[in-house]
């Protein structure tokens, strides 16, 4: 019964909030810049080496996901069942299995050339 | 700050006399999260392929030889900034400011366009020095992974332009607000994928 409101034409169906400074976005942006710069400097200046360095920059990348999800995608908000969290958690599980599993199992292959 | 981080469902709840369309819009956003999850699995497969094959350069160009630090750094900061401006467009939408929305979304699309431009010039340069897709397993995996992301960004730019057109024509209503929210989620997701490309492909490549 309200489908006419949905499809517009009236320009309604939407009431804006008052104006406010986008603090959350600014903080998220600054944090993402800082994390990127740290990762960049760590690699280019050879602060650490090998696996430690890879672990550190991977950790920084994972923190970037958190920033995008929380500050920009408002992942934790919303009403009702959290199906999107379940879906993304499931995808994350597969991602870890695919990437980690592939790297792990292929590490037994020795040094064949393809 | 408190009003800036309201999610779409909060926005749509206002001004909707009946709950039906509100539920439908929420459902569409939830459906898009499902798409993002499947898209994440697509990228997981390409990342796994790349990580397995990245050492197999067949005596051809290596990551150290073809990756241009300045180029990928610029690409990274451009995409991070575009994710921010896209967030500002959503913020302007929540405040009902159409002008601000269009301005920030235009800036986002232009940043996206310059990102794609840099990536295309990087690829052209690579091919020019003999680093073609068919040269080695490393390069096949590299072009597939980075190219798939670039394709996503290109589609995102076209998508944003079409939404800007709709908003200019119809204004900000529940439908266009939902559409902008969804393209925003898509764009932030692509930024996350790029952060991993930057880390796994480029930084680990020049290490």
pLDDT at position A20 is 86
Q: What average pLDDT does chain B have?
A: 90
* B25 contacts A6? CB cut-off 8 A: yes
| Chain A interface includes B124 (CB < 8 A) | no
* B173 contacts A10? CB cut-off 8 A: yes
Higher pLDDT among residues A108 and A77, named by residue: A108
Question: Which of B55, B158, B41 lies closest to B109, judged by CA?
Answer: B158
Through-space distance between the first and last CA atoms of chain B, rounded to whole angstroms: 40
pLDDT band for position B59 (cuts 50, 70, 90): very high
Judged against a pLDDT cut of 70, whether residue A84 lies above it is answered with yes
Instruction: Provide the shortest C-alpha distance from residue A39 to chain B (in Å).
Output: 8
pLDDT at position A9 is 36
Domain ranges of chain B: 18-206
pLDDT band for position B18 (cuts 50, 70, 90): very low
Judged against a pLDDT cut of 90, whether residue A79 lies above it is answered with no
pLDDT at position A80 is 64
- Phi and psi for A102 in degrees, rounded to 5? -65, -45
pLDDT band for position B21 (cuts 50, 70, 90): confident
Chain Cα centroid distance, residue B69: 21
Higher pLDDT among residues B117 and B21, named by residue: B117
d(Cα A58, Cα A38) in Å, to the nearest integer?
12
pLDDT at position B125 is 96
Average pLDDT over every residue of B24-36: 91
pLDDT at position B146 is 98
Enter the DSSP assignment of A103. H
Average pLDDT over every residue of B21-50: 93
Judged against a pLDDT cut of 70, whether residue B13 lies above it is answered with no
Domain ranges of chain A: 16-106
Judged against a pLDDT cut of 50, whether residue A88 lies above it is answered with yes
d(Cα A70, Cα B88) in Å, to the nearest integer?
15
Considering only CB atoms, A13 lies closest to which of B45, B173, B192, namely: B173
d(Cα A99, Cα B201) in Å, to the nearest integer?
14
d(Cα A16, Cα B51) in Å, to the nearest integer?
46
* B171 contacts A29? CB cut-off 8 A: no
pLDDT band for position A17 (cuts 50, 70, 90): confident
Higher pLDDT among residues A74 and A81, named by residue: A74
Considering only CB atoms, A83 lies closest to which of B30, B173, B206, namely: B30
pLDDT at position A82 is 80
What share of chain B in percent tops pLDDT 90?
86
Q: What average pLDDT does chain A have?
A: 82
pLDDT in tens, B153-193: 999 999 999 999 999 999 999 999 999 999 999 999 999 99
pLDDT at position B20 is 52
Residues 22..61 of B with a Cβ closer than 8 Å to A: which?
24-26, 29-30, 33-34, 36-38, 40-41, 43-45, 47-49, 51-53, 56, 58
- Phi and psi for B61 in degrees, rounded to 5? -60, 140
d(Cα A92, Cα A90) in Å, to the nearest integer?
5
* A17 contacts B96? CB cut-off 8 A: yes
| Chain A interface includes B20 (CB < 8 A) | yes
- Phi and psi for B164 in degrees, rounded to 5? -60, -40
The question of ipTM being above 0.90 is answered as no
- Best of B135, B195, B206 to disrupt the A interface (most A CBs within 10 Å) is B195
pLDDT at position B28 is 92
* A78 contacts B41? CB cut-off 8 A: no
- Best of B6, B21, B77, B103 to disrupt the A interface (most A CBs within 10 Å) is B21
CATH code of B18-206, in short, is 1.20.120.80
Considering only CB atoms, A61 lies closest to which of B96, B174, B196, namely: B196
Average pLDDT over every residue of B75-80: 97
Judged against a pLDDT cut of 90, whether residue B130 lies above it is answered with yes
Judged against a pLDDT cut of 70, whether residue B58 lies above it is answered with yes
Return the HEC string of chain B: CCCCCCCHHHHHHCCCCCHHHHHHHHHHHHHHHHHHHHHHHHHHHHHHHHHHHCCCCCCCCCHHHHCCHHHHHHHHHHHHHHHHHHHHHHHHHHCCCHHHHHHHHHHHHHHHHHHHHHHHHHHHHHHHCCCCCCCCHHHHHHHHHHHHHHHHHHHHHHHHHHHHHHHHHHCCCHHHHHHHHHHHHHHHHHHHHHHHHHHHHHHHHHC
């Amino acid at each position: 019964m309200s489908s006419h409101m949905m499809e517009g034409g009236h320009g309604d169906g939407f009431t804006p909030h008052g104006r406010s400074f986008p603090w959350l976005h600014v903080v998220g942006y600054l944090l993402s810049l800082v994390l990127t710069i740290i990762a960049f400097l760590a690699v280019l200046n050879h602060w650490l080496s090998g696996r430690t360095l890879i672990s550190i920059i991977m950790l920084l990348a994972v923190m970037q996901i958190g920033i995008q999800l929380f500050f920009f995608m408002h992942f934790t908000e919303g009403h009702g069942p959290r199906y999107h969290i379940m879906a993304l958690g499931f995808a994350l599980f597969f991602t870890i299995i695919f990437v980690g599993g592939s790297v792990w199992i292929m590490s037994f292959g020795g040094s064949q050339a393809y | 700050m408190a009003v800036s981080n309201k999610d779409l469902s909060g926005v749509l709840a206002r001004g909707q006399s009946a709950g039906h369309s509100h539920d439908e819009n929420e459902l569409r956003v939830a459906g898009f999260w499902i798409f993002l999850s499947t898209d994440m699995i697509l990228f997981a497969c390409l990342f796994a392929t790349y990580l397995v094959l990245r050492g197999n350069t067949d005596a051809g160009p290596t990551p150290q030889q073809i990756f241009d630090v300045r180029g990928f750094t610029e690409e990274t900061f451009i995409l991070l900034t575009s994710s921010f401006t896209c967030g500002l467009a959503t913020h302007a939408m929540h405040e009902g400011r159409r002008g601000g929305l269009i301005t920030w979304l235009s800036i986002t699309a232009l940043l996206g366009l310059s990102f794609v431009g840099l990536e295309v010039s990087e690829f052209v340069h690579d091919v020019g020095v003999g680093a073609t897709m068919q040269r080695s397993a490393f390069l096949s995996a590299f072009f597939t992974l980075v190219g798939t992301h670039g394709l996503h960004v290109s589609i995102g730019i076209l998508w944003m332009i079409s939404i800007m057109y709709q908003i200019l024509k119809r204004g900000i209503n529940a439908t266009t607000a939902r559409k902008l929210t969804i393209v925003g989620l898509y764009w932030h997701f692509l930024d996350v994928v790029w952060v991993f490309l930057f880390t796994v492909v480029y930084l680990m490549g020049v290490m």
